[in-house]
Structure 1
Amino acid sequence: MANGRDRREPVFDAPAGEAGELDFRLSPEDRAGGTMARRQVSGNEGERPRRPSRPKKTKRRSGRSFLSKLVYAGLVLCLWGVIAVGGIVAYYASQLPPIDQLTVPKRPPNIAILASDGSLLANRGETGGRTVTLKELPPYLPKAFVAIEDRRFYDHFGIDPMGIARAVYRNLSNSGGLQGGSTLTQQLAKNLFLTQERTASRKIQEAILALWLERNYTKDQILELYLNRVYFGAGAYGVEAAAQRYYGKSARNVSLSEAAVLAGLVQSPSRLAPNRYPERAQARAELVIAAMNELGFITPGMTKTALGAPAEPVRQNGAGSANYAADYVMDVLDDFVGTVESDIVVSTTIAPAMQAAAERVLVDELNAKGQKFNVSQGAFVAMQPDGAVKALVGGRNYETSQFNRAIAARRQPGSSFKPFVYLTAVERGYTPDMVLEDAPVAYKGWAPKNYDRKYRGPVTMRDALALSLNTIAVKLNMEVGPKAVVQTAQRLGISSPLQANGSLALGTSEVTPLELVSAYAAFANGGIGVIPYVITQVKTTDGKLIYKRPGSGGLGRVMDPNVVAMMNEMMHNTFVIGTAQKAQIPGWTLAGKTGTTDDYKDAWFVGFSGSLVAGVWLGNDDGTLTKRVTGGNLPTEVWHNFMQIALKDQQPVPLPGSERFRTPSDVPMADAGTDPRYANAGDRSWVQPAPQRRASREKNFFEKLFGL
């Protein structure tokens, strides 16, 4: 160590490549567990070194392994998709009623209303037509629906995967327009149980319910349910309602071309309605016929015939007034049958010929003179003397207004109310020959005047009514008492509230046309009060009797026969010298009374023969004044035109008591108050005292009563 100067320090930055450089990096042998360690353990430096491992070869992905993974991934996705769909289906299924409690809801009942001759007057109810069975229908009718809506109906299980695929393809390729994949069973499920919304949830529920239907019903049962529930537009549910609505006939009688239109209509009832869009409806029907021919449902000959004779929808004739009569039937039906559980048939008293005539004469008069006289509406009622309603028109046009003025509009009857005043007087001893004084009258500041503002002096009671003199009617009303007049009117069937006052004699209390006509019926039948009726019997569609009108009914006797004879004599005089002269019908003895309010707001005429009573009202719904429409002009014309038609083929029937009428027909109306023949014209041996002896007494009475 003496020569320690020779000591050398380690150098760490020797130039690369220089001899004697130091390398401090570890080789694999230097690492733990490496060759060096193994040598130290064995202590045998001569051990043969381990063969170095071969480098690993990189694996190449084969096409087969990629496809396998793709298939595997697809299977996994499908599995998850099935699970997801199952979960969704289970969720929406849980929103439905329990399957074991599911039932097909009952179809709302239909009410078929028949006229007196058995013809269909109208259908009422939510469906618009009765239920029909497949056996009742011509074979081509249900086949038309299968051909155009679900040609694989008899092959699928409620859901048609092929149909869905075909619809998807056509929709994507825009061939044939948008297509739906719903089967008839699915459509039925929607109509029975679901709303019309188009959502995925609703489609899922629809499919579930379709499977339930297929499990519980046969194919024919499903098709029959479908045909009776599907909507055809215009308020018609079911093929029977649609056939009646568009072709005026039962579905049992439709032709092949008509069946094709109905089958095509369900795709879009509003767009393909044959009465509104006949070209569209026919184009669709041709597709239906072609599909039926392709499937072998009809022969080539039938195809040619159907294509050569397109269906023609019925056109609405007139103003649809039969619906007013049908509405009246529905108003009173509950009184006889209560709640309707199934389809029923209601037989009525309505006579189709009279109903059509009443509508025609009323509408024709309004069309011809309505604008000139500023009158827009009317109502008409005709009935037999026993109260059987034969015609009822509630307005000018049912499509425009469904308000039934014949039964619901209360209007002032004007002078047509006067017979109740005169009846009350006759029942207290007055007679048609009694002479009364037509002179000015005042009562507590009220001074009613006659229509023509003239006064005739001494006038018989008979002619006072015929000439509709207001002064005498008011005097009689105050003589007998307004309360007594109210009771008389109510006894004959007036049910509207009546004000017992002085103006009651001039018809200021409102009534409906139906009740006024029914009250007059007691004059036509000899004094029996009637309750108007329109229903004769009610049956179920299988013939079970639910209700039958008893042979007798009404209010009983409300007038003495002698009183009836005197009243009819006075009202007959209206046709002889009075305001209804132009309404006479040769060969018939007629009676009645006109009515006009003093402001020309309402005009009436109610008249009768021994076999028919009829009444007319004309006016405006909003109360607008007419241009001098009186009971003696337009209403009398309507009444006369109707009665000429209604009585044309009947043998004349005398009025009760008419054998005692001896009123001269040669007295002009203008001279009735002064003609010398007038004073003695009313002499009757059965009436006492004579008018000459009673005249001064009556004049003095009224002067005392009213302070004249």
Structure 2
Amino acid sequence: MSNRSGKKPPLVADRRATGRKPAAGTTRRQPRRKTSSRRQGWFGFLKPGAPKPKKRSAGGGRGGGGPRSFIGGLLSFIAQVIWRLTWRVGVLLVVAIAIAVGYYYSTLPEVNRLLDGRARGSVTLLDDRGDVFAWRGDQFGGVVTTETVSPYLKNAIVATEDRRFYRHFGVSPRGIASAIRINLSEGRGALSGHGGSTLTQQTAKLLCFGKAFDATGGMTEREYESECRRSTIWRKIDEAIYAMAMEARYSKDQILTIYMNRAFLGAGARGFEAAAQRYFGKSASDVSPAEAAMLAGLLVAPSHFAPTNDLARAQRRANVIVGLMEQQGYLTAAEASEAREHPAQLSQAASDRAGGYFADWVMASGPEYFTRNTTEDVIIRTTLDRRVQKAAEAAMQHVFETKVREGSKAEAAIVVMSADGAVRAMVGGRETRVAGAFNRATQALRQTGSAFKPFVYAAALDLGHSPLATVVDEPYCLNIPGSGRWCPDNYTRNHYGRVTLTHALKDSLNVPAVKVSEDVGRDLVRKVATGFGIRSSLADGPALALGTSESTLVEMTGAFAGILNGGSAVMPYGVEELRLLGDDTPLMGKEGGIGKRVISEDAAEQLIWMMEKVISDGSGRRAAIPGWQAAGKTGTTQSARDAWFIGFTADYVAGVWMGNDDNKPLTGVTGGGLPAEIWRETMVRVHDGLEPRPLPMRAPPQPEPQYQQQYPQPGQPQAAAPERRGGGGLGQVVDQVLRDIFGG
């Protein structure tokens, strides 16, 4: 029945469920499952057909709205979309990194295969006593581990390079952020300068992310290393991934072991064992706190802070490392104070840097596959005498500091050897402590001047002429086919009439030398000079006698050694034996020494007698050594472009050359001047403490006046040659045949 009064029925709340079952025939309305008003896809966007969220009124009720509500809802929606997008991308990134780390992890070999990463071997040079004096190539002193090195060294590396090394997982976000902040504050790019790399990342870079050097790949080793060190955002990412793979594969100490063995530490040293031996002459297990700090200080810039380049700078850098070690608790205050007060010093070998020119010569003259391009570790025992080397270097420095005018660009070179050609010292320039520099003792081909004249007189003496034979020193000219008239003159522009060969040699007269050369024959003079070891091309004309041909100082000194040893050829050498590291049997012995006889022993001894007069009474008087017999010869070329003095005692042969690299004339310098003084200063130091010995010389018998040999003038008949000592008619016949053959 309807409500006729028109009033609405009162509102009555639905009866709440009482847990009783609904009456029969009724159905209970199931509550509607609450679903998200934002049914979403993978990245948080609404699926097609999903119900849209209901709008709320400005007052928070349904059906309201307003700008604030709209903007707030929009921002909330954007934030939720960004969040859901970010964490899903993050998940994908983590998965990708995990895959990359897993890949690198699978490629990492055993630790012991990563400790020696050199692409070439090293050469260790020993002096004549078996002590190390130089290194070449990439030196690897042997494997060290965190357990075998000095704890000071291990702590110095960690304190310097990565103080959180034992606490991170291969990458330090804090370190990277700090490095970027410092780089930007210093006006550089974010990745320029400080890298924020951990020790593990640095090790990854040393390993070049597992890419070994391939010599056939069209890239040099230097280019390969430069590529490995190149820093870009993608390489930094690769470096971080590889570092994390290393952290998963190796222990912290194993990573540090790889780093300590592969780090480059200047002067060709690879690894801390090689560096400790190179700079301090000791194992890395024995270094002190000060030495450990100096080694660790090399890591930032090995060549710049190498103590062999600037010891004071290396010590200042080491003091910084000592401070870091003290701050981090690796050194006590007392230990740090001791390290500062007694900084690390170089070993004697490293301090001397002995024989840089000599070592370069040995490396250049030895077999290439055992020296310049060796893939093995080679030990070469040499002839170098470091006492003699120091003497030569000191003599060079003394003369240039006290006798050469300031601003002079003149250069000089010194070679000292034994009579058998064993080179004992070599200085290739006025800068004595260098490596890889132009070596004027072995590489400079220069005219020899009058230093060549002993070979002219050697040829004459070997034919039986006497040192007391005479020749007229007078104006003298020759007609040279194709060149015209040639008239040699003496250095003094004066002539001295009839003089003995000995007089002509001791005063370095030019006219008599040319006359004797023409008399005995240029071919014979050339043969004698070549036999004594002058391998350079020799002049064809009569100026041959005056040293217009070129030679090197080491060749000329070796030739004079042949005169000292009695007239036999000498091959200068610097290698005694060569062997591989770890082998006791040498692969090769010396390749030089005394060779075939060139002139007779009698002729050699008389020539030494003549050359002794050069120093005792001739042009080389400034080379005299108090208490010692010495023989030698000066040499000055045209316009004084080159000045020489080469001579010997009974124990040593020494040669000195002086000139300008650009071949400009010297000012006021002759062979009997500064070169003779350098020679004397060298030999005085070399012979210090030695017992004087007489020269192996022999004075000629005084000839009777009627039999005194004289060299004829052009167009005059040839005087009869005297008999060879000990010979009879046969000797005269042989002498005449030789003179006919060689144009005498």
3-state secondary structure, aligned to 2:662: coil
Report the CA distance between 1:270 and its aligned residue. 7.2
Deviations 1:188-223, CA, capped at 9 Å, x for gaps: 221231622221211122234334545665544432
Tell me the residue number matched to 1:239: 272
Q: Measure, in 1, the Cα distance between the counterparts of 2:649 and 2:200.
A: 60
Establish whether residue 362 from structure 1 lines up as the match of residue 396 from structure 2.
Answer: yes
2:532 aligned partner, one-letter code: L
Tell me the residue number matched to 1:352: 386
1:210 to 209, 221, 243: 243
8 Å contact kept, 1:683–1:690: no
Report the CA distance between 1:368 and its aligned residue. 2.4
Tell me the residue number matched to 1:437: 472
Tell me the residue number matched to 1:693: 707
8 Å contact kept, 1:337–1:547: no
Tell me the residue number matched to 2:418: 384
Establish whether residue 577 from structure 1 lines up as the match of residue 617 from structure 2.
Answer: yes
Q: Measure, in 2, the Cα distance between the counterparts of 1:98 and 1:395.
A: 55
8 Å contact kept, 2:127–2:385: yes
8 Å contact kept, 1:619–1:626: yes
Tell me the residue number matched to 2:207: 192
Q: Measure, in 2, the Cα distance between the counterparts of 1:583 and 1:393.
A: 19
Question: Using a 3 Å threshold, how does the CA distance of structure 1 residues 568 and 91 change in structure 2: closer, same or farther?
Answer: same
2:355 to 318, 322, 327: 322
8 Å contact kept, 1:366–1:375: no
2:450 aligned partner, one-letter code: S
3-state secondary structure, aligned to 2:405: helix
Q: Measure, in 2, the Cα distance between the counterparts of 1:373 and 1:278.
A: 30
Residue segments in structure 1 that go unaligned for 5+ positions in a row: 1-54, 662-681
Deviations 1:453-490, CA, capped at 9 Å, x for gaps: 22221211122111211111101111222222222111
Deviations 1:102-130, CA, capped at 9 Å, x for gaps: 974435423222222344322211x4664
2:320 aligned partner, one-letter code: R
Alignment of 1:461-500 (within 5 A): 461-500=501-540
Report the CA distance between 1:397 and its aligned residue. 0.8
1:286 aligned partner, one-letter code: V
Cα RMSD after superposing both structures: 4.1
1:145 to 131, 148, 157: 157
3-state secondary structure, aligned to 2:134: strand
Question: Using a 3 Å threshold, how does the CA distance of structure 1 residues 369 and 129 change in structure 2: closer, same or farther?
Answer: farther
Tell me the residue number matched to 1:405: 440
8 Å contact kept, 2:579–2:587: yes
Q: Measure, in 1, the Cα distance between the counterparts of 2:151 and 2:381.
A: 30
Tell me the residue number matched to 1:418: 453
Q: TM-score if structure 2 supplies the norm length?
A: 0.73
Alignment of 1:551-590 (within 5 A): 553-590=593-630
8 Å contact kept, 2:133–2:354: no
Establish whether residue 290 from structure 1 lines up as the match of residue 326 from structure 2.
Answer: yes
Question: Using a 3 Å threshold, how does the CA distance of structure 1 residues 303 and 372 change in structure 2: closer, same or farther?
Answer: closer
Report the CA distance between 1:545 and its aligned residue. 3.9
Q: Measure, in 2, the Cα distance between the counterparts of 1:496 and 1:407.
A: 12
Residue segments in structure 2 that go unaligned for 5+ positions in a row: 1-54, 187-192, 209-226, 480-484, 719-744
1:517 aligned partner, one-letter code: T
8 Å contact kept, 2:561–2:653: yes
Q: Measure, in 1, the Cα distance between the counterparts of 2:351 and 2:619.
A: 30
Q: Measure, in 2, the Cα distance between the counterparts of 1:489 and 1:361.
A: 29
Alignment of 1:169-318 (within 5 A): 180-193=195-208, 195-214=228-247, 219-232=252-265, 237-240=270-273, 242-243=275-276, 251=284, 253-268=286-301, 275=310, 277=313, 281-282=317-318, 284-293=320-329, 297-299=330-332, 301-311=334-344
Tell me the residue number matched to 1:19: none
Establish whether residue 628 from structure 1 lines up as the match of residue 668 from structure 2.
Answer: yes
Report the CA distance between 1:341 and its aligned residue. 1.8
Question: Using a 3 Å threshold, how does the CA distance of structure 1 residues 284 and 315 change in structure 2: closer, same or farther?
Answer: farther
Query: Which structure has the bigger radius of gyration?
Result: 1
Deviations 1:623-674, CA, capped at 9 Å, x for gaps: 1111231111111111111111111222233333x2x33xxxxxxxxxxxxx
Report the CA distance between 1:618 and its aligned residue. 0.8
Q: Measure, in 1, the Cα distance between the counterparts of 2:624 and 2:183.
A: 72
Deviations 1:371-404, CA, capped at 9 Å, x for gaps: 2795610000000001111110000115789110
8 Å contact kept, 1:110–1:130: no
Tell me the residue number matched to 2:83: 74
Establish whether residue 99 from structure 1 lines up as the match of residue 119 from structure 2.
Answer: no
Q: Measure, in 2, the Cα distance between the counterparts of 1:574 and 1:655.
A: 14
Q: Measure, in 1, the Cα distance between the counterparts of 2:407 and 2:314.
A: 39
Q: Measure, in 2, the Cα distance between the counterparts of 1:376 and 1:90.
A: 66
Q: Measure, in 1, the Cα distance between the counterparts of 2:339 and 2:185.
A: 23
Report the CA distance between 1:145 and its aligned residue. 0.6
8 Å contact kept, 1:609–1:655: yes
Question: Using a 3 Å threshold, how does the CA distance of structure 1 residues 594 and 182 change in structure 2: closer, same or farther?
Answer: same
Report the CA distance between 1:590 and its aligned residue. 1.8
Question: Using a 3 Å threshold, how does the CA distance of structure 1 residues 553 and 411 change in structure 2: closer, same or farther?
Answer: closer
Question: Using a 3 Å threshold, how does the CA distance of structure 1 residues 273 and 551 change in structure 2: closer, same or farther?
Answer: closer
Q: Measure, in 1, the Cα distance between the counterparts of 2:641 and 2:494.
A: 22
Establish whether residue 124 from structure 1 lines up as the match of residue 159 from structure 2.
Answer: no
Tell me the residue number matched to 1:39: none
How many aligned residue pairs are there?
615
Report the CA distance between 1:699 and its aligned residue. 3.0
Report the CA distance between 1:93 and its aligned residue. 10
Question: Using a 3 Å threshold, how does the CA distance of structure 1 residues 694 and 97 change in structure 2: closer, same or farther?
Answer: farther
Tell me the residue number matched to 1:7: none
Report the CA distance between 1:423 and its aligned residue. 1.1
Report the CA distance between 1:533 and its aligned residue. 1.0
Question: Using a 3 Å threshold, how does the CA distance of structure 1 residues 252 and 558 change in structure 2: closer, same or farther?
Answer: farther
Q: TM-score if structure 1 supplies the norm length?
A: 0.76
Q: Measure, in 1, the Cα distance between the counterparts of 2:148 and 2:100.
A: 42
3-state secondary structure, aligned to 2:587: strand
Question: Using a 3 Å threshold, how does the CA distance of structure 1 residues 138 and 622 change in structure 2: closer, same or farther?
Answer: same
Q: Measure, in 1, the Cα distance between the counterparts of 2:231 and 2:454.
A: 65
2:238 aligned partner, one-letter code: Q
3-state secondary structure, aligned to 1:386: coil
8 Å contact kept, 1:337–1:546: no
8 Å contact kept, 1:388–1:532: yes
2:122 aligned partner, one-letter code: N
Question: Using a 3 Å threshold, how does the CA distance of structure 1 residues 465 and 86 change in structure 2: closer, same or farther?
Answer: farther
3-state secondary structure, aligned to 1:226: helix
3-state secondary structure, aligned to 1:402: coil
Question: Using a 3 Å threshold, how does the CA distance of structure 1 residues 78 and 136 change in structure 2: closer, same or farther?
Answer: same
Say which is worse superposed, 646-655 or 224-233, in terms of deviation.
224-233
8 Å contact kept, 1:113–1:326: yes
2:577 to 531, 537, 562: 537
Report the CA distance between 1:303 and its aligned residue. 3.8
Report the CA distance between 1:175 and its aligned residue. 14
Report the CA distance between 1:612 and its aligned residue. 0.6
8 Å contact kept, 1:573–1:591: yes
Q: Measure, in 2, the Cα distance between the counterparts of 1:649 and 1:308.
A: 37
Say which is worse superposed, 369-378 or 429-438, in terms of deviation.
369-378
3-state secondary structure, aligned to 1:459: strand
8 Å contact kept, 1:113–1:348: yes
Identity of aligned residues (%): 37
8 Å contact kept, 1:318–1:359: no
Report the CA distance between 1:170 and its aligned residue. 7.8
Question: Using a 3 Å threshold, how does the CA distance of structure 1 residues 115 and 627 change in structure 2: closer, same or farther?
Answer: same
3-state secondary structure, aligned to 2:339: helix
Report the CA distance between 1:434 and its aligned residue. 1.2
Tell me the residue number matched to 1:616: 656
8 Å contact kept, 1:374–1:627: no
2:293 aligned partner, one-letter code: A
Question: Using a 3 Å threshold, how does the CA distance of structure 1 residues 472 and 141 change in structure 2: closer, same or farther?
Answer: same
Q: Measure, in 2, the Cα distance between the counterparts of 1:170 and 1:152.
A: 15
3-state secondary structure, aligned to 2:667: coil
